[in-house]
Chains A and B, each alone.
Chain A
Amino acid sequence: MDALDFLETPISTGTTIMAVEFEGGVVIGADSRTSAGSFVANRVTDKLTRITDHIYCCRSGSAADTQAIADIVAYSLDYHENQTGQPATVLEAASEFRNFCYNYRSSLLAAMIVAGWDEKLGGQVYSVPLGGMLVREACAIGGSGSSYIYGFVKEHYKPNMPLEDCVEFVKKAVKHAIFRDTASGGVVRIGILTREGFERRLFFNTESGESVVQNTLELKVE
């Protein structure tokens, strides 16, 4: 491994994604920027992708790779639900993601956070980073923007927060990451997964999303 040390440094994947377990479910969050180098290809991307009604994944890395994997896993789980007659568990979804990300690790650039609610274990968050390992975490962050909020998350995360506190925590964390990471930007998309299903929330810097220009000097031409 000494001869191959130079290969050790992993590549950061543009985006900020996050998922937190709380009492009764999970809260997921992401920014909305898809960048192609320095160009913002999509400023209103939805990185919170539905796998089943109760399982969503947060995508970071190559947009093409993650979309392809998410589509395949969603299809596969739908078939599985059909065969078993029961809703898929979050661990089943996370395992499928892991199997793809691990077996094709040399061809893919995909780091996912799989989060959801199932009857067996309640709210769960699983992290599948580059390389394809699988680990469950109560609070997972990912993407290039996550580097800037490790400190924030360590300071402000508390296990088993009530729902509104959790939403506030995820919103603030993603906002902080967007502030410093050029590869993250746009709006903060939040998702809440519970026994009841999925609820979306959207937060922008300005309340309405419209541009607000203050105190400009009007150019008077005489």
Chain B
Amino acid sequence: MFNNGIVQPLWYNGPSPGQFYNFPGYANNGNMKQCHETNNSDSTRSTAMITTGSSVLGIKFDQGVLIAADTLVSYGSLSRFQNIDRIFKINDNIIMGGGGDFADIQSIMRSIDQKMIEDQCYADNIAMRPKALATWMTRVLYNRRSRMNPLFIDVVIGGIDENNEPYLANVDLRGRAFSDYVVSTGFARHLALPLVREKKPADRDFTLEEASELIRQCMEVLYYRDTKNSSQYTVGVCKVKDSTSNQCDVEGPFQVDEKWSFAKMVKGY
């Protein structure tokens, strides 16, 4: 590893331990916050998030997973598209909820759909499992971020793994993956996560009824407290039906049960 006292890079053109590493595609203008897409013209317009989806919430229960997201895609502060399903059925074992830049979500969905078609073409009665998809997403997103050209997305992937075990994970734009009984993106991370964790029984998983009630409560809170959330949402359900098959659907759209009548008790400020 050491050669004449200078540490060799870990791989060709790779980082040298102890040395400052300039990532490829990184424009040396001193502004660490900017991400540039290398393009043919000399344009340095950053690829920011433009049309965005807000929070996604996933909850694992004893027989499967629920993933919920509202049906709004915003354009800055404008509630631009109000009837968009952000929960996707990937195959009979996997559902996915997408938040962040929606054009990037649509792009990754095209790649995933192609992957599933390939999977079907093998005709081996084996469909991809959620953990495999989550791992693949992690690799894709990490590689993109390492090339300073991220997909600005934050996704929740869930479903039924081998041995009929429910699986739930969250992968973000940096390629950071995290698996737990409750995961979320965006505002839900601040508002919904503590709510669900508080209600979790110490000795067992949630039941479907408990998980559904939590989804309902969390969607209500998110609607009240997140400016970029709307009151309409869809829920993906993936649960074990019997030892050989699962029931995997996207249900909805549902409406939040809004409570405003107490407003008349508030006067003045």
Residues of chain A touching chain B, judged by Cβ–Cβ distance below 8 Å, are: 1, 3-4, 7-10, 102, 104-107, 127, 129-135, 137, 147, 150
Cα distance, A152 to B76, chains bound together (Å) = 21
Q: Across the interface, do A130 and B51 meet the contact criterion of CB distance under 8 Å?
A: yes
Cα distance, A105 to B50, chains bound together (Å) = 10
Q: Which A residues lie within 8 Å of B207 (CB)?
A: none
Q: Which A residues lie within 8 Å of B49 (CB)?
A: 1, 4, 7-8, 131
Q: Across the interface, do B46 and A130 meet the contact criterion of CB distance under 8 Å?
A: no
Q: Across the interface, do A107 and B75 meet the contact criterion of CB distance under 8 Å?
A: no
**Supplied contacts A135-B81, A137-B81, 18 more A-B pairs, CB within 8 Å:** A1-B100, A1-B154, A1-B173, A3-B33, A4-B33, A4-B35, A10-B75, A10-B76, A102-B106, A105-B37, A105-B50, A106-B46, A107-B39, A129-B75, A131-B101, A131-B103, A133-B73, A134-B106
Q: Please give me the residue from chain A that is nearest to B84 by CB atom.
A: A135
Q: Which of B121-170 contact A (CB under 8 A)?
A: 152, 154
A–B pairs, 18, beta carbons within 8 Å: A4-B35, A4-B48, A8-B48, A8-B76, A10-B75, A10-B76, A102-B106, A106-B39, A106-B46, A106-B47, A129-B50, A129-B51, A130-B50, A130-B51, A131-B50, A131-B51, A133-B51, A133-B102
Cα distance, A150 to B80, chains bound together (Å) = 10
Residues of chain B touching chain A, judged by Cβ–Cβ distance below 8 Å, are: 33, 35-37, 39-41, 43, 45-52, 73, 75-78, 80-81, 84, 100-103, 106-107, 152, 154, 173
Closest 10 CB pairs of A and B: A131-B50, A7-B48, A133-B103, A106-B37, A131-B103, A132-B103, A107-B39, A10-B76, A107-B43, A9-B76
Of A104, A129, A134, chain B has the most CB atoms within 10 Å of the CB of A129
Interchain nearest-CB distance for A54 vs B (Å): 25
Of B35, B52, B103, chain A has the most CB atoms within 10 Å of the CB of B103
Of A7, A137, A150, chain B has the most CB atoms within 10 Å of the CB of A7
Q: Across the interface, do A105 and B36 meet the contact criterion of CB distance under 8 Å?
A: no
Q: Across the interface, do A7 and B100 meet the contact criterion of CB distance under 8 Å?
A: no
Interchain nearest-CB distance for A65 vs B (Å): 11
Cα distance, A208 to B48, chains bound together (Å) = 46
Cα distance, A133 to B101, chains bound together (Å) = 9
Cα distance, A129 to B81, chains bound together (Å) = 11
Cα distance, A127 to B50, chains bound together (Å) = 14
Q: Please give me the residue from chain B that is nearest to A128 by CB atom.
A: B103
Of A3, A4, A102, chain B has the most CB atoms within 10 Å of the CB of A4
Q: Please give me the residue from chain B that is nearest to A133 by CB atom.
A: B103
